[in-house]
Amino acid sequence: MAVSVGALPAIFPVNYATLDGDVVFRSGPGTKLTAAVRGSVVAFEVDEADRFDHTGWSVMVVGPAHQITDPDERAQARALPLASWAPGRGDVFVRIEARLVSGRLLTHALPTNGDRHGALPLEACPACGSDALAVVSDGEMTNFACTGCFACWHFSLGAIYELPSATCPGCRLVDLCRAARPLVPVPVGPTALPNGRPSAQDGQ
């Protein structure tokens, strides 16, 4: 959330929910609440970026903010899945009217079949050699799952590491992976990676 403080911009992180298309967040005493009480026009932005796929999006909402005092409106706000993350009392609900909504999608053209792995650090699975790789996310990291042997790989700082299935928190392929993994033969011996390093499971 961006507000103007003494003619200077100030930005504060907030967790939020939506109510009839408007943004709602909880607040305690401070700059955000002061702006709401004054009915100031504020900006709110939410975004996401994938540093491996070089894609992302952002949405910005601009409008006046006000403290929710109407009993019915406050009851609606209390029913939202909106818990206060910050310590202290955040028992005031603030609503940003979505007067102006804009957004941006950052993407790129899909590669041709001959170059469908051109943007990936892996051309094939180091474990089985299959080129059937899927870009997945476990909620924190972007990984590359092989739909041939269901090995999962993570690329970081120029090195490729295999993620142990026992510690995988899950992604969109987790159910299929857990069902098929016991049926897929596990490669014997060290796994040679493109960068010359062994995988994490080799213990080297």
Per-residue pLDDT tens for 182-202? 544 444 333 434 443 434 444
pTM over 0.85: no
Which pLDDT score is estimated for 49? 81
- 16: nearest Cα among 77, 103, 107: 77
The confidence band for 72, taking pLDDT boundaries of 50, 70 and 90, is very high
How far is 198 from 179, CA to CA, in rounded Å?
26
Q: How many Å apart are CA 180 and CA 90, to the nearest integer?
A: 47
Domain stops at, among 106, 141, 158: 106
Question: Do 18 and 51 fall into the same domain?
Answer: yes
Between the alpha carbon of residue 52 and those of residues 132, 144, 170, the distances in Å are 18, 10, 19
What total number of domains does the chain contain? 2
Domain, as residue range, for 65: 2-106
Cα end-to-end distance, the chain, whole Å: 47
Say yes or no: 167 and 85 in one domain: no
Residue finishing a domain among 78, 106, 134: 106
Higher-pLDDT residue of 159, 10: 10
| End-of-domain residue from the set 106, 126, 161 | 106
